[in-house]
Each structure stands twice: as C-alpha cells, then as structure tokens.
Amino acid sequence: MTFRKTTLYIKIALISLAFTACSKQEKSDGTASEIAESEFPQMQPSRVKYAKLSEAYINPKKEAIERFCNKYFRNEQNSISLLVAKNGQIIYERYQGDANRNKGIKIEKDTPLHIASVSKVFTATAILLLANRGKIDLDQKVNSILPEFPFPDISIRNLLSHRSGLRNYAYFVEEKGVWDLHKTLTNQDVLNLFTEKEIKCDCPADTRFCYCNTNYAMLALIIEKVTGLSYPEAMKTMIFKPLGMDHTYVFEYDKDKETATPSYKGNMEIALDHLDAVYGDKNIYSTPRDILKFDLARNAPTFLNDKLRKEIYQGYSNEHKGEKNYGLGIRMIEWENGQKFYFHNGWWHGNTSSYITMAKENVTIIALSNRFTKNTYAVRKLVPLFGDYPFKTDDED
C-alpha cells in the first residue's frame, strides 16, 4: 500500500469517527428528563403474573358494583371516573359527567382529573425511591437539604408522616400582612415565608399527628433540590413515563391553567386562586387506568427494599389510642384483630378522590370526580366484596 493511499484511509477513518461522535453527541444532548433517567431511580412496571379471573367470579362483582353506582352516581349530573380491578384485571369501569361543561366535553377513560391529596401518595413514592437509591435518608434533617428551612429538628420522615408540627400554608397566608392574596403562591414562597414572616410551628416535631399540606409542599422542594429537576419533570422522569402513565401530569399554573379539566360545585365552575400553583400536596392530574399502573408497581416485590417497603405501612402516630393512623404517604385503619386497611382520599376545590389499595387481595379501587360530592368516598363500601373488612355495605345501611 502506498503512502498516499494510507493517508487517504486515515482521513476517511477520522471523518467517520468524527461523524459517529457527533451523532452520539446529538443523541446524548437530550432533555433534562433523558439525562436524569440514567441518574435517578425509576419505578418499574409490575412483572407479577396474576391468575386470570373467571366470569363466574367477575359477574356477581360487576352486578354489585353496578348497583352501588346506580345509587351514588345515578345520572350524568354526577361526574365520576371509577375503576375496580383485581389481579391487575379491570372488573368494572364507569366514566360519566362533564369534563368541561362550557365546551361540551364529557369525561372518558383518558380524561385527566385533579386527584387532590391522592397526589401525596405519588410525592411520597418519589421520596422513597430517592431513599432506596441512597440519595437521601428518611431521618435526615430537612435543613440539610433546604438550608433556608428554619426548623432544625424536623426530618424527612416527619414530613412524610405528618408529624412535623408545621402550620398549614393555606391558613397562615390568609393572616394579615403575610401574603398578597392577589399573587399566586409557590412552594418556594411558602419556604421563604417561614423566615420572612417568622411563621412558627403549631407544636414541636414528632410530638403529635397533624395532617398538613405544607409537609408535602416541602417534600416537593426536596425532590427538586436532590434531583436538580423541577417537581413536574422529576415526577414524569421517575414515575409517570416509566410506568406508561400517558395521561398523568403535574399541573403547572402558567402552562396548564387554560387547558386543565375544571372542577364544579353544582353547575358553577370553580375558579383558580392564589393557592393553585403549590404542588406536592396536590396538583397531579391523572386517570383511574394510570393510577392502576402505579398501584400495581407499588405493590410489586421489586418496589424498594424490604425494610423500606415495610416502613411505608406502619403507623407513626400512636400517642392516642384509635383505629386511624398514617404511614409514609398513606392513610390506614388498624383494627384490634391486627387487620389493616390502606387508602388515601383527597379534596381540592370541586375535585374529590379516593384511592384504595388492597395488596393482600390484589384489589385496587379508584374514584375521581370533578364535581364536588362526598359520594366519591363511599367507594369503601365496595371493599367487603373482596375481603373480610368491617365496613358497612349498602345492604346493611
């Protein structure tokens, strides 16, 4: 081979390498979400293979659920997205009512509705994923991550279990001179107000249970600080996208206020207000089918290590005897016989929600409504269809 030919081959090889490098660079210079996918933990879809349900099992359940729905959601005026599943198999669905009354849009299976405080289950899940990866420790003090957080005794676990003693931002911003109610509040604003307005705690950390939205607004900031992503992007990267939750998103005030499904009280649409930009405690929009994917993944054996998974479902507030308790992002009822029931309800504006997870029976019940009704919470009456739980059914009322 001549020197000239060798030089030519070398030039071709260098051009080829440069082109390949550019192509790889183009592929790697993706969005923050794509970069984070390899850096931060992601939920994995459930790979559990459940037994297929027989028609003999399904039909009487469907009939009972239909009777329930005809009582509580008897006509189109009663907006509802309802799903009941066992073994990952959908037994019953019902979608009815107005998604947007002015535009004549009806609720369908892919219509995202505001899930209110059921959002807390998702926020807690992201925190638990970060803890499982070793990015944070649940007993770590909040101010070790958020230096401007002025309460040195409060831990991440305190926030998750509503034992921080923090005051509810929805209330203290209403006090004179704390906040201009014509301005939209953000999570960072809530954090800043603690110091700027010298907002005190209602009680010392870890002394009593006090359900408080501020806890989960702070957890959203922790997720942002640890991941380097906005909360909406982090939730999409860690949970929504890997689970194929294609109709689920975090409401972003400036981006989504004109397109999100509105809520109603009676026939009156409820306007957004100064509290609607705060997320973590609320502001996830989803569908029952998407939440089913999430529930299956949370109940899979591969979700978290065994120790951390058990910590979710233990009660942290035992200073007063009673059946009601709260785990890490999940409500619970503990009966004297040792039986436990796990769920989370939500309410925000006209939106109401109920998420029931029955891991022992492999049953998921999800109800969402964008027209204010407490009937959404009545879905626990369906629980005795699938297990020996001491809830009254309609037949016992």
Lowest mean pLDDT among 229-233, 263-267, 361-365: 263-267
The arithmetic mean of pLDDT across residues 62-89, rounded, is 94
Could you report the per-residue pLDDT of 27-74, keeping only the tens digit for each? 333 344 444 445 789 999 999 999 999 999 999 999 999 999 999 998
For residues 81 and 66, give the distance between their C-alpha atoms in angstroms, rounded to a whole number: 13
- Binned at pLDDT 50, 70 and 90, residue 3 comes out as very low
Residue 245 has pLDDT above 70, yes or no: yes
Q: Of all residues in the chain, what percent carry a pLDDT higher than 90?
A: 84
Q: What is the pTM of this model?
A: 0.90
Q: Which CATH superfamily is domain 60-396 in?
A: DD-peptidase/beta-lactamase superfamily (3.40.710.10)
The average pLDDT across 216-245 equals 98
Give residues with Cβ within 8 angstroms of 339, minimum separation 6: 388, 389
Average pLDDT of the chain is 91
pLDDT at 286 over 90: yes
Percentages helix, strand, coil for the chain (3-state, rounded to 5) are 40, 15, 45
Query: What's the pLDDT at 396?
Result: 55
What value does the mean pLDDT take over residues 214-229? Answer: 98
With 80 as the cut, is the pLDDT of residue 301 above it?
Answer: yes
- The answer to whether residues 283 and 250 touch, using CB atoms and an 8 Å cutoff, is yes
pLDDT > 80? residue 346: yes
pLDDT at 18: 41
User: At residue 241, does pLDDT exceed 60?
Assistant: yes
Burial of residue 170 (CB within 10 Å: 0-12, 13-18, 19+) is middle
Q: With a cut of 70, say whether residue 353 has pLDDT above it.
A: yes
For residue range 114-123, list pLDDT tens digits in order.
999 999 999 9
Instruction: Give the pLDDT score at 171.
Output: 97
| pLDDT, position 391 | 86
Please say if the pLDDT value at position 91 is more than 60. yes
- What is 328-380 written as a DSSP string? SS-EEEE-TTS-EEEEEEEEETTEEEEEEEETTTTEEEEEEESB--GGGGGGG
Q: Work out the number of other CB atoms within 10 angstroms of the CB of residue 177.
A: 6
Nearest to 173 by CA among 190, 198, 188: 190
**Residue 386 tokens, joined:** 């699938």
Q: Which residue has the higher pLDDT, 1 or 182?
A: 182
Q: In the predicted model, is pLDDT for residue 395 greater than 80?
A: no
Q: What pLDDT shows up at residue 122?
A: 98
Quick: pLDDT tens for 169-191. 999 999 999 999 999 999 999 99
Residues 6+ apart with CB under 8 A from 327: 161, 311, 312, 313, 314, 315, 316, 342
- Mean pLDDT of the 88-94 span: 98
pLDDT of residue 202: 96
H helix intervals, 48-118:
55-72
* Angle subtended at Cα 224 by Cα 223 and Cα 228, rounded to the nearest 5 degrees: 120
- Say which amino acid occupies 347: W
